[in-house]
Chain A
Amino acid sequence: MLTEYSGIPIIIVWAIVFPALILGASKLFHPKNPTPVKLQTYECGLETQGDTWVQFKISYFMYALVFVAFDVETVFLYPWAIKFQSLGLFAIVEMFVFIAILLVGFWYAWKEGALEWM
């Protein structure tokens, strides 16, 4: 009963064997004469500067999060806006409940200073 899945192990085996073959062949044939320049990190042809561990301002992150919350709200609002006439009163009330909950979240974020650019 496993025959219909026999493709999967074949692919797994091939996925292991093929890169091994290619990389092995390359290792076998390529010339080996490393220089300092060759060993440098390649970054768009520019010289690399400093450490990769750079601090980003946390406020970016906060803005992004609050934005996502409203983004998702809008995603829900579109289908509702198209259909709310046929859905009736219940849907309208429900959407306002939804928005109210989001607003509480927004208020919280604001009050806690997530939107202050410091």
Chain B
Amino acid sequence: MDLSLLTIEIATVLLAIGVLVIGLLIPREQRFGLGYLVTIGLAIILFVSFGYYGINATAFEGMYYVDDFSIFFKQLILVAAVLVTLAATLYVKKMGTNYGEFFVMTVFAALGMMVLSSAGEFITLYLGLETMTISFYILTGFKKNDSKSAEAGIKYLILGAMSSGILLYGLSLVYGMTGTTVISEVAVKLAEMGSLSPAMVVGMVFLVAGFGFKISAVPFQMWSPDVYEGAPTPVTAFLAVGSKAAAFAALIRVFMIAFPDYSLQWKMLFAALAALTIIIGNLVAIPQTNIKRMLAYSSIAQAGYIMTGVIAANAAGVRGVAFYGMLYVFATIGAFTVVMNFSANTGSDEIRDYAGLARRSPLLAAVLTVCLLSMAGIPPLAGFAGKFYLFSSIVDQGYLWLVIIGLLMSMASVYYYLSVAKVMYMADPVDDSPIVVPAGAKAVLLITMIVTVFLGVYPQPLSVLANLAANSLFF
């Protein structure tokens, strides 16, 4: 048993506990600075994690993977956590209370995601999932005095508990049929059993539903607009990228390693869900007037696009998921950073209040436009390259109809993305006062914008990493 394989996770735990302890030792008002400590700590862990590429080992007798796939997703989660904690400073300060706990819970959520992306076994997977989700329950309801935040917390708690139950039920059905909880052994046992028993079908559907809740795929998406709107914006950003990416990592590992023989069945299921998710996410985003709700629906649609890579069920598809997941982190966090800084200044999340933002803060307007256009998949930006990878991975597998739906709906999405840009650039501001953006958030805005443009112009570096990740899964 080589504990050094778990350096990343152990370091994350130590960071969380350390921040908690330091938070106790300094006066309440000064705990605000803990955010920077967390950012730096996570950044160091992110840097260290590059050394773990190419190890491709397992720990705890196959219960825990340390392969390129999990490292890639851990880095994705760490990038998201670094950006969110860096961007959240002003917002958290305005929130008023419990700065320390906010950052500690963020780190714990990240830890849960990491475990989720590395899990090679159902119990471990569930532990990671719950660590992540429980942290998010707390973070979602963090604004205790805000009724919307409290409502979002309760909704997420109850619905999340239900989905956890469904997932757990699914896991136990699979365990019941195969007698093992280790993912790679499930495939062996299933192959011995031959035909697919009805209980396995039910188990598989429950797993789809459980993961579908986390990635907010239609029809398990109902929670996300309300929770995204109510939760503190940094939490929404982290929820939208982190929990989604980690759930995708676990989902890919479970379905591609445990059920490769029944890919025909679950591919059909995912294809139907992906089509529904893309269509409904994009259509309902159109009439939204609150930017957080609009982004929530757009993130539902994005999950639909990412699902197409799962349907491909090969290295090309997984590479597409990894690639898209990473650039989705930058685009989403960029957009939400704009939203959180805007609302920290003006107290509003309504799209019509964004009128004339280009004049009040050119940086915010530019970043939001770039990020939204990247999500829409406009060519010189990263989203285009990502969609290109995803769609091309399924087009030669007979899913042309899904690609066509995806492309049509991408076009539809340009409408609601551009209408935000139109408000920002064309309309006159009601209030001319400039918007103050603190240095940390400014850094995040610049990073997200530069990366989004850079990966669109030159996608190769990320593509190489995504390739490593995908190949380690299929060796």
Contact = CB atoms under 8 A, between A and B. Distances in A.
Direct contact of A and B (CB under 8 A): yes
Interface size class of A (residues with CB under 8 A): under 10
A101 interface: yes
A94 to B, nearest CB: 11
Interface residues of B, number: 6
A57 to B, nearest CB: 18
A2 B20 contact: no
Nearest to A2: B198
B20 A104 contact: yes
B439 interface: no
Nearest to A4: B198
A107 to B, nearest CB: 7
B198 A108 contact: no
Contacts of A104: 17, 20-21
A38 interface: no
A107 B24 contact: yes
A111 B24 contact: yes
A106 B336 CA distance: 35
A62 to B, nearest CB: 15
Contacts of B20: 104, 108
Interface string A98-111: 00010010011001
A108 B197 CA distance: 50
Contacts of A111: 24
A25 interface: no
A5 interface: yes
Given A101-B17, A104-B17, A5 B198 contact: yes
Nearest to A90: B1
A16 interface: no
Nearest to B24: A111
A108 B198 CA distance: 49
A112 B17 CA distance: 15
Contacts of B197: 1
Interface string B116-152: 0000000000000000000000000000000000000
B447 to A, nearest CB: 33
B210 to A, nearest CB: 21
Contacts of A2: 198
A107 B317 CA distance: 48
A1 B198 contact: yes
Contacts of A1: 197-198
Contacts of A107: 21, 24
Interface string A1-34: 1100100000000000000000000000000000
Nearest to B197: A1
Contacts of A101: 17
Nearest to A104: B17
A46 to B, nearest CB: 33
Contacts of B21: 104, 107-108
Ranked nearest first, the 7 interchain pairs of A and B with the lowest CB-CB distance are: A111-B24, A104-B17, A108-B20, A108-B24, A104-B21, A2-B198, A5-B198
Given A104-B20, A111-B24, 6 more contacts: A1-B198, A104-B17, A104-B21, A107-B21, A108-B20, A112-B24
